[in-house]
């Protein structure tokens, strides 16, 4: 029994550590990020069509689906004074699903009317806009992260429009029924969070560093393989015929000069 409790506690500790470090990781991945902050949770509650006049703002879980709608709202006053929409580099809604009665998907809608955690009921439910995201949910005790950057940027531009977010069973999976940790949950203890990363202007370029020492000469590379023998060239054209030699004429004259009587005979005959 003791080891079982230890494993459960250890698992929750790891999930808590993951949630705490998530903002730092997101911040590090963004270029020119000046910092990150958690917007405080201003209120959370769920409303039920089965109990239209009952307020559930003090419960430890936010019910989504099966006739229930969860509402969460965050306080952006912790952002640095003068923050503009363009400086909201990323805004991530973080939810912890502690129970999955029926797996499916959840739609996120911007809330467009005011409400209060301790008084809101199904009969006094605030208006909401069109869905901005759909998230599949199937695993219990699992964090769900949703990018709501555009919505938060609109809240920064028009602060009076920040009435929070409504979570409903998706129209694509209407039978979905899940429970999410609320601010009052002291067991798993992971209330809804809004992690906001801020981007600042690019800093001045630093001075050029000194030139480093020349590295040692590398080893001589291996001799490459002998290339293939090229193809034989074309046969050249036949050269011109040379001049006739006169040497044979001289030989005959020498023989004639040595002929003696034969020469005289030849002269008489000729």
Could you report the per-residue pLDDT of 8-63, keeping only the tens digit for each?
Answer: 334 554 555 555 555 555 545 544 445 789 999 999 999 999 999 999 999 999 99
End-to-end CA distance of the chain: 150
Would you say residue 146 has pLDDT above 50?
yes
Q: Which is higher by pLDDT, 251 or 161?
A: 161
Q: What is the pLDDT of residue 121?
A: 98
Would you say residue 203 has pLDDT above 70?
no
Would you say residue 99 has pLDDT above 60?
yes
Q: What is the pLDDT of residue 5?
A: 27
> For the residues 123-131, what does the mean pLDDT come to?
98
> For the residues 139-153, what does the mean pLDDT come to?
97
Q: What is the pLDDT of residue 227?
A: 82
Q: What is the pLDDT of residue 259?
A: 55
Would you say residue 2 has pLDDT above 50?
no
Q: What is the pLDDT of residue 224?
A: 84
């Amino acid at each position: 029994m003791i080891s079982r409790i230890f494993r459960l506690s250890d698992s929750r500790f790891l999930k808590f550590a993951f949630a705490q470090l998530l903002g730092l990781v997101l911040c590090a991945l963004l270029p020119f990020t000046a910092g990150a902050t958690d917007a405080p949770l201003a209120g959370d509650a769920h409303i039920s069509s089965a109990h239209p006049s009952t307020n559930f703002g003090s419960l430890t879980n936010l019910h989504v689906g099966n006739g229930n709608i969860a509402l969460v709202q965050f306080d952006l006053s912790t952002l640095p004074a003068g923050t503009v929409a363009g400086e909201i580099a990323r805004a991530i809604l973080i939810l912890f699903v502690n129970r999955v009665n029926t797996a499916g998907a959840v739609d996120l809608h911007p809330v467009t009317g005011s409400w209060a955690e301790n008084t809101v009921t199904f009969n006094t439910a605030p208006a909401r806009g069109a869905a901005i995201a759909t998230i599949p949910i199937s695993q219990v005790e699992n964090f769900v992260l949703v990018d709501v950057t555009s919505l938060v940027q609109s809240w920064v531009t028009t602060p009076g429009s920040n009435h929070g977010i409504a979570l409903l069973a998706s129209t694509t999976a209407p039978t979905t029924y899940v429970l999410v940790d609320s601010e009052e949950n002291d067991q798993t203890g992971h209330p809804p969070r809004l992690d906001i990363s801020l981007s600042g202007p690019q800093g001045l370029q630093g001075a050029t560093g000194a030139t480093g020492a020349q590295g040692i000469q590398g080893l001589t590379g291996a001799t490459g393989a002998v290339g293939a023998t090229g193809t034989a060239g074309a046969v050249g054209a036949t050269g011109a015929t040379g001049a006739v030699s006169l040497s044979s004429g001289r030989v005959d004259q020498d023989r004639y000069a040595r002929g003696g009587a034969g020469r005289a005979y030849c002269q008489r005959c000729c």
